[in-house]
Amino acid sequence: MQNFNRSEYAQLKNFLSFYVHMRMKASPPEEPQRALNNLEVLEKKSPRMALQGLRQAINDCVEESWHFDPAKVATLDAELINRGIITLSELRRRYSRGYAKVLKRGRINNDSEFYLLQNVINDPTEKSPEERELLAKLLSDYEGV
């Protein structure tokens, strides 16, 4: 099973399951629930394809979460940490094109980008000292503007 990382798969599946159940409380969960159902079918046929589909579903969750206010993200991250599940902020860091663009550009352009980086730096997931330093500088520079 080349290109299949069981650890990553388990992390992402746990997050998606939590996220689906969270959405079920707030609104009709058709899309995320369908993703979970399809995932279970794919797991049996092709674990590698299931991982690919799971990554796409996580990307959808990340994109959907952009409207969450920073306090909601922090609360959600804390609950995920308590359950031993990878945080939304960490997934945003991994899957966000916006995060990559800010890092490449070397400056924060707006409050949405500021809150994204603030949630990432406050997330306890391990980051390299260089990444922490860069995030701190970008946040500090934006606050100083």
Q: pLDDT digits over 104-120, tens only?
A: 999 999 888 898 898 88
pLDDT-derived band at 82 (thresholds 50, 70, 90) equals very high
Domain span at residue 58 reads 1-67
pLDDT-derived band at 32 (thresholds 50, 70, 90) equals low
88 CB-side CA count, 13 A: 29
Percentages of the chain per state (helix, strand, coil), in multiples of 5: 80, 0, 20
pLDDT at 31 over 70: no
Q: Whole-structure pTM over 0.85, yes or no?
A: no
Number of domains in the chain: 2
- Examine the fold and report which residue of 17, 42, 67 is the final residue of a domain before the chain moves on: 67
Quick one: 77 and 143 in the same domain? Answer: yes
Mean pLDDT value across residues 59-76: 87
pLDDT at residue 76 in the model: 94
Quick one: 62 and 89 in the same domain? Answer: no
pLDDT at 27 over 70: no
Within 10 angstroms of residue 116's Cβ, the number of other Cβ atoms is 22
Quick one: 19 and 38 in the same domain? Answer: yes
Mean pLDDT value across residues 23-28: 61
Residue bearing the bigger pLDDT, 3 or 85: 85
Quick one: 6 and 73 in the same domain? Answer: no
